[in-house]
Amino acid sequence: MGHIHRVVAIDGPAASGKSSVARELARRLGFAYVNSGAIYRAITWDALQKGIDGRDTERIAQTAEAARISCRLQNNESHIVIDDVDPSEHLRDDRVNKNVSRVSSIPRVRKIVVQNMRQYARYNDLVVEGRDIGSVVFPKTPYKFYVDASPEVRLRRRAAEGQRDEIIMRDRADSSRPISPLIVAKDAQIIDTSHLTIEGVVNEIIARLRQIGLSI
């Protein structure tokens, strides 16, 4: 096993600010930013795009296993190419929003994504955001955060982006699935971001990272 670099895990429900906070935190720390949700979204988009029904668990798992998924860093951020196609502009499509929770509940799909996440940590210090980063993907990292905000605030944030995204339904599915559900890891620090700006959240995380001994 290669050397494991430092990992800051950021988990939380939809529109809690994970992506914005993780990206800015990574920039300030000089770490790479890895978005795990984007890989679940890319796998979902790829299967739908190949004509597979979003409920066909077996074919989705087979397709994901057969796909060539290349996860690289581009400008210090994770970037996915799947079967030589860059799915970036499709990751927030309505049909992806609707199907991604079901696809990500498939154990064989999770295995692929978890392996990719851990590969990144062999070569880089990382800020990784998702649902199970502190609980399952990097359970040994001491740097774990759970960012949250009230459902009203989160709905408002998504609406402000002009997105039709049923985040409450997705959160329910993500929190109740048997494998790697969205939970607060027992040693995670919880930050309620309802009344904080992105910069405010990042400052708070950096202060706590210093307290727990990350030299930055």
CB-nearer residue toward ligand CDP: 196 or 206: 196
Which residue type, as a one-letter code, is found at position 21?
A: V
Q: How far apart are CA 89 and CA 171, in angstroms?
A: 23
Listing DSSP states for 2-43 in one string gives PPP--EEEEE-STTSSHHHHHHHHHHHHTPEEEEHHHHHHHH
Site for ligand CDP in 117-136 (CB under 6 A): 130-133
CB-nearer residue toward ligand CDP: 31 or 40: 40
Of these, 161, 162, 211, 215, which contacts ligand CDP (CB under 6 A)? Answer: 161
15 binds ligand CDP, rule: CB under 6 A: yes
Q: How far is the CB of 149 from ligand CDP (least distance, A)?
A: 7
Q: Strands of the chain (E only): list them.
A: 7-11, 32-35, 69-74, 77-82, 126-130, 143-148, 189-192
Site for ligand CDP in 29-48 (CB under 6 A): 36-37, 40-41
Q: How far is the CB of 215 from ligand CDP (least distance, A)?
A: 26
User: Which range of residues in 45-53, 70-78, 190-198, 207-215 is near ligand CDP by CB under 6 A?
Assistant: 190-198
Q: How far apart are CA 18 and CA 170, in angstroms?
A: 15
